[in-house]
Amino acid sequence: MTQIKLAYPKIPDSKNCPFKQCIAFEKYDGTNLHWVWDSELGWYAFGTRRNRFDLDEMGITDFNAAHPGLEEAASIFLRDFANALATIFHNNPDYHCPEIVVFTEFFGASSFAGMHKKEDSKQLVLFDVQTDKGMIEPEKFVKDFKELNIAKVVYRGKLTGKFIDDVREGKYNVAEGVICKGGKSSEDLWRVKIKTNAYLKRLQEVFKDNWKNYWE
């Protein structure tokens, strides 16, 4: 295991959000995992937001020991994503770079605040891809990876106060909330997270005075 800088940046809340065109993706209540691809080595590493392991038999064993509850993640990725993503990277010149990192959420039907139930069927959802130029902009992400299990698009349009209120009130049928992403390139990319009032209530019921640790 290697300790790393935060693999995926913290996403700000909607307090000072830009009211611009965006794509809103469903935010899933699970564990953020990253997977590292090298143009010569292929898929060689993976981990959480703060640590990284070799993507081989020994590394997977060490990861599973360090992260109880995430034991199914590597096999799901290798089965459902590894070959398909590698094919996209090889066939699309935009991804001809030395290293690419992809980001997925791992969760089951009963996952909550990063906790998972062993008996649940689990899945990975792809929600971001990073090349040597930075994160892929949202429109390109949807276009290039739409054939895979990517985060569901729940809204396209201008980010407005009404949309924020509608998300919070549960009008978009998402359990935790949404991530709004905008920008035309990695240089002007922005993200905002919005969670539902129902999720807030559940956090307060489960975590009492510590609920803010799991909020926006």
pLDDT of residue 35 exceeding 80, the answer is: yes
For 103, the enclosing helix (H) or strand (E) is: strand 99-108
CA 45-71-106 angle, 5° bins = 75
pLDDT of residue 108 exceeding 90, the answer is: yes
Task: Pinpoint the alpha helices (H) of 57-106.
Answer: 57-66, 73-80, 82-91
Sheet holding 21-27, edge to edge: 153-158, 21-27, 177-182, 190-195
Q: Which one is predicted more confidently, 4 or 111?
A: 111
Pairing of strands 153-158, 2-3: unpaired
3-state secondary structure 107-164: EECCCECCECCCCCCEEEEEEEEEECCEECCHHHHHHHHCCCCECCEEEEEECCHHHH
Q: Structure pTM?
A: 0.94
Query: What pLDDT, in 10s, does the model give residues 88-105?
Result: 999 999 999 999 999 999
Q: Report the amino acid identity of residue 192.
A: V
What phi, psi does 135 have (nearest 5°)? -65, 145
